[in-house]
Amino acid sequence: MTIAGDGNRLKGDSAIQYNVSGNVYNGVLRMQRFFGTHRLRLCRASLCRSTRIFAAIALAATLLFTLQVKSASAQATAFADAPPLLVGAAWYPEQWSEATWDHDLALMESGNIHLVRVGEFAWSSLEPAEGQYKLDWLERAVAKAAAHHIVVVMGTPSAAPPAWLTTKYPETLRVDEKDRRDEHGNRTQFSFASARYRQLARNVAEQMAIHFGKNPDVVGWQLDNEYGNTSFDPETRNQFHAWLKARYGTIENLNERWTTTYWSQSYDNFDEIPVRPSNENPGLLLEWRHFVSETWKSYSQNQIDVIRAHADPRQFITTNTMGWFDGFDHYSVHSNLDIAAWDDYVGAGPYNYISNGMTHDLVRGFKNKNFWVMETQPAFVNWATNNAALNRGEVRDMAWQAVGHGADAVEYWQWRSALNGQEQYHGVLVGADGTPVPVYDEIKQVGAEFAKAGAALSGTTPDSQVAILHTYDSVWAIDLQRHNEQYDPLGAIAQYYRPLQKMVQSVDVISPDSPLNKYKLIEAPGLNVLPQKTADRLMEYVKQGGNLVLGARTGMKDEYNTLYPQRQPGPLVDFLGGRVEQFYSLPGTVPVSGEAGIGSASIWAEQLSTKDPSTKVLLRYGASNGWLDNQPAIITRTMGKGTITYVGAWLDDALLEKLTAGFVKQSGVLPVLPGVPDGVEVCRRSHGQGSVLILINHNTKAERVDLHGSMRDLLADSTSQLTSVDLPPYGVAVLEHTGK
């Protein structure tokens, strides 16, 4: 759970930092400028889960639900009445007398909650002294949960080390950039690279795996909690230097790649290289982030190894991440996890369904399959500047949106108010006295609806024909050298996503390393770092019939954060038949016009040129600084069976929307359900046998939706066939084709 008490502004008014347990998470949410007044708060943030939903299978005397996790299937539960879609809550039995457990679990069961996450902050209760393990209480808690038809995600407790550990081994505490060592008393105060800390975390995880790895009521494992804080202690520095040596081989090779002759930065050996996250050579800064990502990946692997040695393969292993938090490369960190999971928080809101949906799509792209929401807010949080509650109906709205975008479980943080601690004011389902708070009934309704629609949604996943490419290297590279403080690389992604989502209603957000051929249209708002191998994949995609749209600042640098000598878009210059002659940070707006439309550019503009007669100019700049006057702003070319287009400016929303409509039409992509009112979201989940539509009215007024065919609402008590559906404010319909 993230404590983000201090929302400190970053560069520009579209950037936020979140303070987590006294340590600053940098660059988490920066979407306010691009999604109206809503500031995207991916604070607690990022969980999501695996490939397919629980499918019921008869096996022996019990009904097992399976969760596809790569090639392994996960038995979700031994209870015949547990729904394929799960509603859950974070439960901390160690904080309460055992006399309260049955009462709480009975309330969960009656509230249609069939999943709890336990253990992730319980290290001092699981191992009160080094080597002295006490897991009997947790065994009883799991057994009591099972008696109430509730399955368990087991959390490893390494996010919150006990006092005996940090006192006996102070070297395991993290050190910040200013060489200040952390103290005990909050959480995430450990060094993620510490060998001793990893061994101690591995030991407790192994004991938990021995006890619960074969437990039929444990569906999976969550490692740690919300990876984020790095460390600059001597052990981490030594590991970074060793990592660089393994990567580059010789210091001469590193010097050449980083162009260290600039400012006499050339190094004689790897130990001379500083360890800083900013204000350094761009090559060093990018490699530091690569090292951080691989260190978190190995941090996971340290616990995965001992869990897998004792756990049934049906149990998945994940961790809960934080949406657009870019402290590490999520594609790398998720590569050794079974599913993705994230913590979905909007803070004080207002809840913006487009930005929240985009984050779901991002998380689904980490593994290119369904995910879990491991935490989300029950009405309000405690860490925003104004902890306003979501409106009545919005909690349900958010839950169904998560499912619509591929979530197979939605879990609320937390079940019951802690009597003390930093998050006393956070929203809950049950008060400190053990009685429900108002939002309990809304979540109970969600659980009942998940049970109604679960069978139809089992085995389904979102299926998109359009994708947006996203890489952490490019986000980092631009963020480190924005050149214009208003140029937010995440904001650029958001600006391209919004009109696509409106027009086609289903968009994937993926890494360029993902399979590309299924998409008719791919947009890449800012692939600033463009390795040759990625360029080769994109060219092949276009040749085979794909339509590729590149945004400004694409192809400026190679994988070492070094400028390409052929200028932008680097290895795609010849393929595009044009290039960027110069880029300009704009102090105001510049007119843009041509056959594709009329509008303006702001923040950033690139003077383009064409080098091949087949490359066509779609838009030109009007009078501005003289350099841009009448110069190409957008160029396009047909190559093979497809097209490549370069958009060299930050365009106004209306013009970008018009351009997007042209790209969509050219690509032959149709909306999932045409003609829906603004503010009504359409989600489609499909499998080989058919699809299910989820309609969500995010508006505060009722809306009618024409279904263009006959469907049945799985949430309605009636089996009537509908050709239209009336949605009240925050209303939801889950629709199955009747074939009539």
> Residue 355 has what pLDDT?
96
Residue 720 scores a pLDDT above 60: yes
* Tokens linked to 346: 């909007």
- Any idea what the CATH number is for the domain that residue 590 is in? 3.40.50.880
* Tokens linked to 239: 């590991």
In a domain, 198, yes or no: yes
Helix or strand or coil: residue 137? helix
> Residue 423 has what pLDDT?
86
186 shares its domain with 314? yes
The angle formed by the CA atoms of residues 588, 30 and 323, to the nearest 5 degrees, is 150
> Residue 593 has what pLDDT?
98
Helix or strand or coil: residue 429? coil
Average pLDDT of span 52-59 = 31
In a domain, 155, yes or no: yes
Sheet of 55-59, strand order = 55-59, 62-69, 72-75
Residue 59 scores a pLDDT above 70: no
Average pLDDT of span 450-455 = 95
Average pLDDT of span 101-108 = 98
Average pLDDT of span 700-710 = 96
641 shares its domain with 698? no
> Residue 490 has what pLDDT?
97
Band (pLDDT 50/70/90 cuts) for residue 26 is: very low
Helix or strand or coil: residue 67? strand
364 shares its domain with 405? yes
Question: Which has more pLDDT, 700 or 18?
Answer: 700
pLDDT digits (tens, 9 = 90+) for 297-339: 999 999 999 999 999 999 999 999 999 999 999 999 999 999 9
Most confident of 1-5, 258-262, 420-424: 258-262
226 shares its domain with 159? yes
441 shares its domain with 507? no
Tell me the backbone φ, ψ of residue 495, rounded to 5 degrees: -65, -40
Strand (E) positions, 38-114? 55-59, 62-69, 72-75, 86-90
Band (pLDDT 50/70/90 cuts) for residue 81 is: low
Domain that holds residue 434: 55-232+276-462
Token pair 């066939």 is found at 721
> Residue 35 has what pLDDT?
59
Distance separating alpha carbons of residues 266 and 271, to the nearest angstrom: 12
Q: 112 and 444 in contact (C-beta within 8 Å)?
A: yes
CA 551 to chain centre: 22
Distance separating alpha carbons of residues 407 and 344, to the nearest angstrom: 11
Most confident of 78-82, 113-117, 311-315: 113-117
Strand-pairing partners, residue 563, are 557
* Final residue before a domain boundary, out of 462, 483, 510: 462
In a domain, 685, yes or no: yes
> Residue 65 has what pLDDT?
33
Average pLDDT of span 16-39 = 38
Between the alpha carbon of residue 645 and those of residues 172, 568, 658, the distances in Å are 51, 13, 15
Average pLDDT of span 573-598 = 97
Helix or strand or coil: residue 521? strand
> Residue 739 has what pLDDT?
59
Residue 71 scores a pLDDT above 70: no
Q: 488 and 33 in contact (C-beta within 8 Å)?
A: yes
Whole-angstrom Cα Rg for the chain? 26
* Final residue before a domain boundary, out of 462, 489, 511: 462
Band (pLDDT 50/70/90 cuts) for residue 76 is: very low
* Final residue before a domain boundary, out of 614, 644, 667: 667
pLDDT digits (tens, 9 = 90+) for 590-614: 999 999 999 999 999 999 999 999 9
458 shares its domain with 518? no
Token pair 């050996």 is found at 269
In a domain, 18, yes or no: no
Residue 16 scores a pLDDT above 80: no
> Residue 37 has what pLDDT?
35
Residue 44 scores a pLDDT above 80: no
Band (pLDDT 50/70/90 cuts) for residue 21 is: very low
In a domain, 630, yes or no: yes
Residue 198 scores a pLDDT above 50: yes
* CA torsion through residues 711, 505, 318, 98, sign: negative
Band (pLDDT 50/70/90 cuts) for residue 8 is: very low
- Number of folded domains that form the chain: 3
Residue 60 scores a pLDDT above 80: no
Average pLDDT of span 529-536 = 98
Q: 406 and 507 in contact (C-beta within 8 Å)?
A: no
| Residues sharing a CB contact under 8 Å with residue 590, sequence separation 6 or more, in sequence order | 600, 601, 602, 605, 621, 622, 624, 625, 628, 649
* CA torsion through residues 654, 660, 666, 668, sign: negative
Helix or strand or coil: residue 236? helix
Strand (E) positions, 137-237? 151-155, 218-222
> Residue 425 has what pLDDT?
87
474 shares its domain with 417? no
Q: 86 and 450 in contact (C-beta within 8 Å)?
A: yes
Average pLDDT of span 425-445 = 95
Band (pLDDT 50/70/90 cuts) for residue 223 is: very high
Percent pLDDT > 70 in the chain is 88
642 shares its domain with 500? yes
> Residue 55 has what pLDDT?
33
pLDDT digits (tens, 9 = 90+) for 654-667: 999 999 999 999 99
Residue 9 scores a pLDDT above 80: no
| Residues sharing a CB contact under 8 Å with residue 227, sequence separation 6 or more, in sequence order | 192, 296, 299, 319, 321, 327, 328, 333
In a domain, 14, yes or no: no
Residue 75 scores a pLDDT above 50: no
In a domain, 126, yes or no: yes
> Residue 58 has what pLDDT?
31
156 shares its domain with 219? yes
* Mean pLDDT, all residues of the chain: 89
- Any idea what the CATH number is for the domain that residue 292 is in? 3.20.20.80
> Residue 146 has what pLDDT?
96
> Residue 85 has what pLDDT?
95
Residue 189 scores a pLDDT above 60: yes
354 shares its domain with 475? no
Residue 252 scores a pLDDT above 70: yes
Average pLDDT of span 329-354 = 93
> Residue 17 has what pLDDT?
31
Average pLDDT of span 55-62 = 31
In a domain, 602, yes or no: yes
Three-state SS for 628-696 is CCCCEEEEEEEECCEEEEEECEEECHHHHHHHHHHHHHHHCCCCCCCCCCCCEEEEEEEECCEEEEEEE
Secondary structure element (H or E) that encloses residue 736, with its range: strand 732-737
> Residue 349 has what pLDDT?
72
The angle formed by the CA atoms of residues 529, 535 and 537, to the nearest 5 degrees, is 130
324 shares its domain with 419? yes
Between the alpha carbon of residue 73 and those of residues 13, 65, 248, the distances in Å are 46, 9, 40
pTM of the model: 0.91
pLDDT digits (tens, 9 = 90+) for 148-161: 999 999 999 999 99
Residue 12 scores a pLDDT above 50: no
Distance separating alpha carbons of residues 682 and 564, to the nearest angstrom: 42
433 shares its domain with 508? no
Q: Which amino acid is at 492?
A: A
Lowest average pLDDT, out of 55-64, 76-85, 354-363, goes to 55-64
